[in-house]
């Protein structure tokens, strides 16, 4: 059954690529290919409790990765449900959204392949299947970001996304090699067990894997590809850059969590990077003018929350926030896509007043934004509170990392809540309130675009309440867990965090309201700090100096050396060939038939030469 | 063994040789049917290779099977000794497959310089040499067949090539002949010390009777000859010119088979025969391999010609193969053999596709190639993109596993310089990113961009027929790497094991 999850979208992708000529068939195959995993997951839910947690392969040695082993436990099923649900909605949405796209068949096939790769990561029971899914996802991301490759920005963004994540994958692959060689096993279960009991191995391997995770999940300092990746179509942003691919990094840590818990150093690194990511990305989000770039930076910031939760020792809070974020961020990206289709621009200053003309989009996106800010009783509220509660515990010294670091995480998380409220309100005001020419003459997006938004709003409204049922979600996730021992985390909010975070929300809303609608702000040029934030704090420039320029210089140098040193040396030797040339001149005058016989005679000569030289 | 078993290998070798002779004798009147004749011969050859594969006892893939022992020149103790095991069998099948596919391709795209009879005859002669190299079990025979390959390839480049073809052909032959002479000296030295040229016996001896210094001398002599072919940095400089000048089928066979003869020779001869010498030179080989990986990637990035770029990418890819061999670890050597096959499939496909692009645009200059191949010829563009993605080492396609296992081998080398090899492994892993960088640059230049409005012929049926088997195998081996590894692993274990636990090999 687990293999069906991966195989059906994979086959749908292959079919789409081969028989892409018929658009309707391509759409049907794509939707069916992503619907089957959802049905399979439902079936898995119905089969609870699962008799066999690990569907192991006949893996008898490190050299026989055949077939790949899968691992289906509560965590995998919970996350697979989210992935299949969002992917299906994205496929359905794409049928309408991409209706004018000449390359729809390959597009939908790549979305299917992408879904297959993500599900492969989710159900991976051995490290090799994990690596395959992990990297194929990177490739599909490259292909989908570059969907409109006639545009230079899409080409550049696609290459950037691939190379930055691939750079992270250097660490990931080395980490896999270290785990494989040191533990002598490929099975995730064995590897994690072994590493959890070996502090050195845990630290080294976790750090190496973390490098890959930072790339995939777009965390500082490997985050810079994500904002540019908005050059891809909006449904791609919803699928890849909000709900699934970036979540893969979080999932891998959650999957191998005992190993990460065994290393305080790695958790501390994670905590610091999460702090930078949360606040830095939220500030950058506030400075953007492009609606999709706001959401992109917001994604980086929200993922940093999940990493913060992992750093303070609460896997369950991290996964909880990952699920609710997947729902509301997918909704926001799809909603932004609907807005862009109608208005014809990404720039928020050219929008405004869309609440009247696009009521469904307005209401659903408002729900999504409220969830992003964390307003009760939406899913985002509960999941963010669970992270804050975990951070608060860490600040009191109840976690692996030091209490001071825990306090830092808590303070930064609260501050980020405020900034999040500010940029969410700014987006809402600029897009839906006020007035603009688009807001006057516009119309609601086609039904094929808005009803997936309504469907996504349902879990946002309802899903959060699972936190109130004590231990319900953690129990689910630990069902058939392979490495028990993690204490169940209470995900319900505490009064203290609710009060503090709501105060932060109030401050953030007030600032944004004043900044957007106040007398001075609207027309004024952004001040320098905001320009820096809008540019992502100069990290792109850093890449150019540290990575790109040395690479180009090296390439030029090597090419120069090869032309000026190696080739002349060869040419010197080439003089010798002139001697040979004298001998071949005779041949050149003859016809080809004689060359053939000459070839034969050359062999004969070699044989004779050999026999003579050997016998003397 | 039953009768046909003994006949399989001689048929495999004599069939193309006989075909070549027949074409030579038949004269001009068969000029028209020469290519069809070549397809027939190579088809029978591939069927024979598949029969070999089917009849191969995979449970005993470490043992030489289909043995042939014919005392050729008894006075000199020279014998025709043939056989296949799990190391050589995949290469034999790959060679037979590429031999047929190049011939099918020639059916539709006859040699530009004409004379199809000579062209086909040379390809068939080349086939005998290539197959023979992989099944020879005698050092002298190995050398002879290794040399047989050179002459036809020289003619293919010099007469059917393009650009600076004569110079490129001369550099190619000069380099490899010089390398081969050094290699022959090594073989003769081994013979003079041990008194045998039988590779199976030499492997069984596993260095017994050869002092460490003798092994070192022999491994350097033999290694240099094989390294030229591989090619190992800095002995690679014949390769870009040869590839750029060679006709499409020449490039395919050069990359797909000829380069493998070098690395195959290392695993077949140097590792089992000269184990102590191999341990001594392994760190140097590993370092040169990694220099080759990085150098090849950077050089590729700076190239302006597509064929030259792919040629340099071969330097990088074969660097991974050499790194796997240098690790002397069974995982690493398995990775090297896997990388051999994967590189043959992928780079063979790449040269096919680039040849197809050149047929249409008359250029391989990146600056002049029209943009937007994805749009202008979607199927051709898809195959090109697929080949590039496979070549940059995407997990799930064949190219990845060889590189990954080479890294695993380098992390746990069977030599003392563990830290050196770990540093090399990290550098090699960065080489994977650099490889991605230049292939993405190519796709951006050729596949993407504002499409040229001029129409372009999409994938033809002949192209599909001669390319799809390669693409299919790249996918199959990428998803099921165990298919190949299960074949090579027992044989690799034997190559690396010492004589103490080697049982009767001549079964």
- Are B448 and A177 an interchain contact pair (Cβ–Cβ within 8 Å)? no
d(CA B203, CA B192): 16
Other Cβ atoms less than 10 A from the Cβ of B161: the count is: 23
Chain A interface includes B485 (CB < 8 A): yes
Q: Which helix (H) or strand (E) holds B82?
A: strand B78-84
- Please give the span between the terminal C-alpha atoms of chain B, in angstroms, as a whole number: 9
Q: At what angle do helices A152-183 and B398-411 cross, to 10 degrees?
A: 40
**d(C-alpha B246, C-alpha B169), whole Å:** 8
**The two three-digit tokens of residue B38, written as one number:** 């070549």
Beta carbons of B140 and A610 less than 8 Å apart: yes
List C-alpha distances in Å: A322 to A80, A246, A491, A498. 12, 10, 13, 20
d(CA B495, CA B200): 10
| CA–CA dist A181, B412 (Å, integer) | 7
Residue A573 reports pLDDT greater than 60: no
pLDDT band per the 50, 70, 90 thresholds, residue A568: low
Least confident range of A32-36, A283-287, B309-313, B502-506: B502-506
Q: Which pLDDT score, from 0 to 100, does residue A591 have?
A: 46
Express as a percent the part of chain A with pLDDT over 90: 13
What percentage of chain A reaches a pLDDT higher than 70?
A: 81
Are A374 and A414 in contact by the 8 Å Cβ rule? The answer is: no
- pLDDT at position A308: 93
Give A153's contacts (C-beta < 8 A, 6+ positions apart).
A228, A231
- Confidence class for position A487, pLDDT limits 50, 70, 90: low
Q: What is the pLDDT of residue A589?
A: 47
Distance of alpha carbon A39 from alpha carbon A88, whole angstroms: 11
Nearest to B17 by CA among B172, B126, B138: B126
**Which residues are registered as beta bridge partners of B79?**
B71
Q: Average pLDDT of A349-376?
A: 84
Contacts of B20 in chain A (CB under 8 A): 596
Q: What is the pLDDT of residue A501?
A: 86
pLDDT values of chain B reduced to their tens digit, one per residue, 507 residues: 445 667 888 888 889 999 888 888 887 777 888 888 989 999 999 999 999 888 888 888 888 888 888 877 777 667 788 889 889 999 999 999 999 999 999 888 888 877 888 889 899 999 999 999 999 998 888 998 888 898 889 888 888 888 888 888 888 888 888 888 888 888 888 888 888 888 888 888 888 888 888 888 899 999 988 998 888 887 888 888 888 888 989 999 999 999 999 999 999 998 888 888 888 888 889 889 998 998 888 888 888 888 889 999 999 999 999 999 998 888 889 999 999 999 999 999 999 999 888 888 888 888 888 787 887 888 888 899 999 999 998 888 888 999 999 999 888 887 667 888 888 899 999 989 888 888 888 888 888 877 777 778 888 888 888 889 999 999 988 888 888 888 888 888 888 875 434 444 333
How does pLDDT run across A499-514, given as a tens digit for each residue? 888 888 888 888 888 8
**Partner residue facing A567 (CB), from B148, B237, B450:** B237
**Enclosing H/E stretch for B66:** strand B65-73
Angle at B392 between CA B390 and CA B393, to 5 degrees: 70
Q: Are A270 and A304 in contact (CB under 8 A)?
A: no
- As a whole number of angstroms, the distance between CA B150 and CA B258 comes to 9
What confidence score (pLDDT) does residue B321 get? 94
How confident is the model over A237-248, as pLDDT tens digits? 888 887 788 899
pLDDT category at A62 given cuts 50, 70, 90 is: very low
B 169-208 → A contacts, CB under 8 A: 170-171, 173-175, 184, 188
pLDDT at A303 (0 to 100): 93
DSSP at A209: H
Bridge partners for B82 per DSSP: B68, B136
Question: Which tokens sit at B460?
Answer: 């033809």
User: A548: distance to nearest CA of chain B, Å?
Assistant: 10
From A193's Cα to the closest Cα of chain B, the distance in A is 21
Work out the pLDDT band at A60, boundaries 50, 70, 90.
Answer: very low
CA angle A291, A292, A298 (to 5 degrees): 95
Report d(CA A319, CA A383) in Å as an integer: 9
Q: Is the dihedral of CA A519, A525, A529, A535 positive or negative?
A: positive
Determine the distance in angstroms separating the CA of A300 from the nearest CA of chain B, rounded to an integer.
Answer: 24
Q: SS3 string of A146-197?
A: CCCCCCHHHHHHHHHHHHHHHHHHHHHHHHHHHHHHHHCCCEHHHHHHHHHC
**Per residue in A515-558, pLDDT tens?**
777 665 554 455 666 667 777 777 777 777 777 777 777 777 77
d(CA B217, CA B230): 20
Cβ partners under 8 Å of residue A330, min gap 6: A86, A89, A90, A238, A239, A242, A243, A456
Per the model's pLDDT, the better-predicted residue between B477 and A561 turns out to be: B477
pLDDT at A134 exceeding the cut of 80: yes
Classify residue B29 by its DSSP letter.
G
Tell me how close the Cα of B404 comes to any Cα of chain A, in angstroms.
Answer: 8
pLDDT at site A431: 83
Residue entry with tokens 């957007």: A516
CA B342 to chain centre: 10
Residue A592 has its nearest CB partner, among B118, B238, B302, at B118
pLDDT, residue B379, reads 85
Answer whether B448 sits within 8 Å of A555, measured CB to CB: no
> How confident is the model at residue A616, as a pLDDT?
44
Q: Which residues contact A411 (CB under 8 A, 6 or more apart)?
A: none
Q: Compute how many other C-beta atoms are within 10 angstroms of the C-beta atom of residue B96.
A: 27
B395 Cα to chain A: minimum distance (Å): 5
Residue for token digits 């690493």? B332
Residue recorded with tokens 């190049």 = B102
Among the listed ranges A89-98, A459-468, B337-346, which one has the minimum average pLDDT value? Answer: A459-468
Chain A residues within an 8 Å CB radius of B330: 63
Which residues have C-beta within 8 Å of that of residue A142, sequence separation ≥ 6? A158, A159, A161, A162, B440
Which structure tokens are listed for A591? 């016809």
Q: Give the separation between CA B507 and CA B505, rounded to whole angstroms.
A: 6
Q: What is the reported pLDDT for A305?
A: 92
Q: Which residues contact B238 (CB under 8 A, 6 or more apart)?
A: A570, B168, B171, B172, B174, B175, B176, B228, B231
Helix ranges (H only) for A433-538 are: 437-441, 447-462, 472-478, 495-517, 528-534
Contacts of A65 in chain B (CB under 8 A): 481-482, 485
Is B140 an interface residue toward A (CB < 8 Å)? yes
Contact A484, A474 (CB under 8 A): no
What pLDDT, on a 0 to 100 scale, did the predictor assign at position A376? 79
ipTM above 0.90, yes or no: no
Does the beta carbon of A498 lie under 8 angstroms from any beta carbon of chain B? no
Tokens of A247: 């979540």
Amino acid A220: pLDDT: 84
Mean pLDDT across chain A: 79
């Amino acid at each position: 059954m687990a293999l069906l999850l991966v195989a059906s979208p994979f086959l749908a992708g292959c079919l789409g690529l081969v028989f892409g000529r018929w658009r309707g068939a391509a759409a049907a195959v794509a939707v069916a290919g992503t619907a089957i995993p959802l049905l399979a997951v439902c079936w898995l839910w119905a089969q609870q409790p699962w008799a066999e947690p690990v569907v192991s392969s006949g893996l008898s040695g490190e050299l026989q990765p055949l077939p790949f082993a899968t691992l289906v436990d509560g965590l995998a099923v919970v996350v697979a449900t989210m992935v299949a649900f969002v992917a299906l909605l994205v496929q359905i949405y794409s049928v309408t959204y991409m209706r004018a796209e000449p390359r729809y068949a390959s597009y939908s096939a790549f979305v299917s392949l992408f879904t297959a790769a993500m599900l492969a990561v989710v159900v991976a029971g051995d490290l090799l299947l994990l690596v395959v899914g992990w990297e194929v996802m990177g490739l599909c991301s490259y292909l989908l970001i570059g969907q409109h490759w006639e545009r230079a920005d899409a080409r550049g963004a696609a290459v950037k996304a691939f190379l930055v994540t691939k750079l992270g994958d250097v660490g990931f692959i080395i980490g896999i090699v270290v785990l494989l060689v040191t533990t002598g096993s490929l099975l995730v279960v064995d590897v994690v067990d072994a590493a959890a009991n070996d502090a050195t191995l845990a630290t080294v391997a976790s750090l190496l894997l973390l490098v890959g995770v930072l790339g995939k999940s777009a965390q500082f300092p490997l985050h810079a590809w994500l904002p540019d990746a908005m050059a891809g179509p909006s449904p791609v942003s919803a699928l890849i850059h909000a709900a699934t691919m970036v979540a893969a990094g979080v999932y891998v840590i959650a999957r191998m969590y005992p190993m990460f818990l065994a290393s305080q150093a790695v958790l501390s690194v994670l905590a610091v990077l999460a702090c930078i990511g949360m606040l830095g990305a939220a500030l950058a989000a506030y400075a953007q003018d492009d609606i999709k770039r706001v959401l992109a930076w917001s994604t980086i910031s929200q993922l940093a929350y999940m990493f913060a939760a992992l750093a303070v020792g609460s896997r369950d809070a991290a996964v909880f926030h990952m699920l609710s974020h997947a729902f509301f961020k997918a909704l926001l990206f799809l909603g932004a896509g609907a807005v862009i289709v109608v208005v014809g621009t990404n720039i928020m200053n050219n929008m405004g007043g869309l609440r009247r003309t696009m009521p469904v989009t307005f209401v659903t996106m408002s729900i999504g934004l409220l969830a992003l800010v964390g307003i009760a009783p939406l899913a985002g509220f509960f999941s963010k509170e669970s992270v804050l509660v975990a951070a608060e515990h860490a600040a009191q010294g109840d976690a692996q990392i030091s209490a001071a670091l825990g306090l830092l995480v808590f303070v930064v998380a609260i501050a980020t809540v405020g900034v999040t409220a500010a940029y969410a309100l700014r987006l809402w005001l600029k897009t839906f309130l006020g007035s603009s020419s688009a807001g006057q003459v516009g119309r609601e997006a086609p039904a094929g675009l808005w009803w997936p938004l309504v469907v996504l709003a349902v879990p946002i409204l309802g899903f959060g309440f699972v936190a109130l049922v004590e231990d319900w979600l953690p129990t689910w996730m630990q069902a058939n867990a392979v490495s028990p021992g993690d204490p169940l985390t209470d995900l319900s909010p505490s009064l203290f965090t609710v009060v503090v975070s709501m105060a932060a929300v109030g401050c953030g809303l007030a600032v944004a309201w004043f900044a957007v609608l106040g007398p001075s702000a609207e027309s004024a040029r952004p001040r320098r700090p905001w320009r820096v934030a809008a540019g992502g704090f100069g990290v792109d420039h850093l890449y150019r100096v540290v990575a790109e320029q040395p690479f180009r210089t090296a390439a030029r140098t090597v090419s120069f050396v090869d032309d000026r040193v190696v080739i002349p040396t060869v040419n010197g030797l080439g003089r010798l060939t002139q001697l040979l040339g004298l001998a071949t001149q005779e041949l050149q005058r003859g016809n080809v038939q004689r060359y053939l016989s000459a070839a034969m005679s050359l062999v004969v000569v070699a044989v004779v030469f050999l026999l003579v030289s050997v016998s003397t | 063994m039953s009768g046909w078993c003994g006949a399989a290998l001689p048929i495999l070798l004599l069939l193309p040789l006989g075909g070549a002779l027949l074409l030579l004798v038949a004269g001009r009147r068969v000029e028209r049917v020469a290519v069809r004749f070549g397809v027939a011969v190579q088809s029978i050859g591939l069927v024979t290779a598949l029969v070999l594969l089917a009849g191969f006892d995979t449970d005993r893939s470490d043992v030489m099977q289909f043995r042939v022992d014919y005392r050729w020149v008894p006075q000199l103790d020279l014998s025709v000794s043939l056989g296949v095991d799990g190391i050589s069998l995949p290469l034999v099948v790959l060679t037979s497959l590429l031999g047929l596919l190049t011939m099918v391709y020639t059916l539709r795209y006859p040699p530009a310089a004409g004379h199809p009879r000579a062209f086909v005859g040379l390809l068939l002669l080349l086939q005998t040499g290539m197959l023979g190299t992989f099944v020879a079990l005698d050092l002298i025979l190995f050398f002879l067949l290794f040399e047989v390959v050179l002459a036809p390839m020289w003619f293919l480049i010099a007469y059917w090539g393009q650009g600076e073809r004569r110079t490129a052909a001369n550099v190619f032959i000069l380099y490899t002949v010089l390398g081969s002479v050094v290699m022959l000296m090594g073989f003769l030295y081994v013979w003079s010390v041990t008194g045998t040229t039988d590779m199976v016996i030499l492997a069984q001896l596993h260095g017994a009777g050869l002092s460490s210094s003798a092994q070192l001398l022999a491994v350097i002599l033999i290694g240099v000859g094989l390294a030229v072919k591989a090619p190992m940095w800095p002995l690679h400089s014949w390769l870009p010119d040869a590839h750029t000048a060679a006709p499409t089928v020449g490039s395919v066979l050069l990359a797909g088979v000829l380069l493998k003869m070098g690395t195959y020779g290392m695993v077949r001869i140097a590792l089992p025969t000269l184990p102590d010498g191999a341990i001594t030179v392994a760190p140097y080989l590993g370092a040169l391999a990694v220099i080759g990986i990085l150098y090849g990637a950077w050089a590729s990035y700076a190239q302006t010609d597509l064929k030259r770029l792919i040629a340099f990418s071969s330097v990088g890819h074969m660097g991974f193969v050499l790194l796997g061999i240098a690790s002397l670890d069974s995982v690493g050597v398995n990775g090297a053999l896997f990388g051999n096959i994967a590189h043959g499939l992928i780079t063979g496909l790449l040269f096919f596709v680039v040849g197809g692009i050149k047929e249409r645009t008359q250029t391989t200059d990146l600056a002049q190639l029209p943009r937007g191949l994805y749009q202008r010829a979607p199927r051709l563009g898809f195959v090109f993109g697929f080949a590039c993605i496979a070549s940059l080492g995407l997990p799930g396609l064949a190219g990845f596993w060889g590189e990954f296992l080479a890294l695993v081998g380098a992390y746990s080398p069977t030599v003392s310089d563990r830290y050196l090899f770990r540093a090399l492994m990290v550098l090699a892993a960065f080489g994977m990113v650099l490889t991605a960088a230049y292939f993405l640059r190519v796709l951006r230049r050729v596949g993407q961009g504002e499409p040229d409005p001029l129409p372009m012929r999409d994938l033809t049926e002949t192209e599909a027929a001669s390319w799809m088997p390669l693409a299919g195998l790249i996918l199959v081996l990428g998803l099921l790497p165990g298919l190949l590894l299960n074949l090579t692993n027992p044989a690799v274990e034997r190559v690396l094991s010492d004589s103490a636990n080697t049982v009767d090999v001549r079964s």
